Structure 1
């Protein structure tokens, strides 16, 4: 019998055949996913690119190894804070003025495109991190445990737990976040073609 942690080359091949950007666009277009991602981003403070990255891995029966993930997560967080969030803030700040000014509307549209390009760059960096390791087993592995509730698996990957030191107000929002995670994961087809 095969060791559950031994990286399955079929799963890795499947991952390599589906670019993260394409996967993200497809998943994001599914019913309820956009709203779920925005809830996780705006209310839970999660990086949607990381959420989509974990979904991408899971769809091939893989997961990131937590020790390896820690450093990359910080790099991606810095990108999101210093680039994507700045563009998002500008776009949102201009929303009211864009309603009455064509030039501001055009500027806002350009910023929106730049924000999308920043998100794409972040996803590409996540993908490179997972696939271009000298030894992929150092970064990704087979999903360690099968679960009937993929949202619990995703919550574990993102380190959202009721035991985190959350404020009382944020604790009240936890069921909304869990529902958002469930919305995302019900759209996934885990282990398809990766048995």
Structure 2
């Protein structure tokens, strides 16, 4: 298991079927960075409780809304036009890089919050369901794919 969240996230995301599972969860309203953090916390056997879930969401929600989502929206908006405009294609790649850096910064913030959380004794460490919210009910298969990938990362 990777000791830091960023390395762990990269290793898991590179596994087969993970990107598609993450995109399904994202389209259902889940935050992919939170899902990857949840997997990392499960691998670390960190105790999951409502207070900790709330703390992670307090970090994630404004950063996602104010930083990641606007970059993603611009990147997607330029997708079609970038196919025929080399200059715009290069600029779109820069936006994509900024979006990735924004996600990396978010993962770093999440790791900073959770780094010292105690390991599980007998309490729940079911982070994915807690962090996915309603998206978990619609995407049990996607959660399974993520857990299998994390076990092999």
Superposition TM-score, scaled by structure 2 size: 0.87
Corresponding residue number in structure 1 for 2:25:
40
Question: In the alignment, is the contact (CA less than 8 A) between 2:39 and 2:147 conserved in 1?
Answer: yes
Query: Which deviations, in whole Å up to 9, do the C-alpha atoms of 1:89-115 show, x marking residues without a partner?
Result: 000000000000000001100000000
Higher Cα Rg, which structure: 1
Q: Choose which of 141, 145, 149 in structure 2 pairs with 1:179.
A: 141
- Higher RCO structure (Cα 8 Å, ≥6 apart): 2
Alignment pair present for 1:19 and 2:4 = yes
Distance in 2 of aligned mates of 1:104 and 1:28: 27
Distance in 2 of aligned mates of 1:157 and 1:143: 20
Superposition TM-score, scaled by structure 1 size: 0.70
Alignment pair present for 1:62 and 2:24 = no
Question: In the alignment, is the contact (CA less than 8 A) between 1:64 and 1:141 conserved in 2?
Answer: no
Distance in 2 of aligned mates of 1:18 and 1:41: 25
Cα distance, 1:143–1:28 mapped onto 2, change above 3 Å: farther
Question: Which aligned runs of 4 or more in structure 1 are off by greater than 4 angstroms?
Answer: none
Question: In the alignment, is the contact (CA less than 8 A) between 2:38 and 2:127 conserved in 1?
Answer: no
Distance in 2 of aligned mates of 1:145 and 1:72: 18
Question: In the alignment, is the contact (CA less than 8 A) between 2:72 and 2:99 conserved in 1?
Answer: yes
Corresponding residue number in structure 2 for 1:158:
132
Distance in 1 of aligned mates of 2:129 and 2:61: 18
Give 5+ residue unaligned stretches, structure 1. Answer: 1-13, 163-173, 191-195
Q: CA RMSD in A?
A: 2.4
Corresponding residue number in structure 2 for 1:78:
62
Q: How many residues end up aligned between the 2 structures?
A: 151
1:145, CA displacement in angstroms? Answer: 5.1
Greater helix share, structure number = 2
Distance in 2 of aligned mates of 1:154 and 1:113: 27
Give 5+ residue unaligned stretches, structure 2. Answer: none
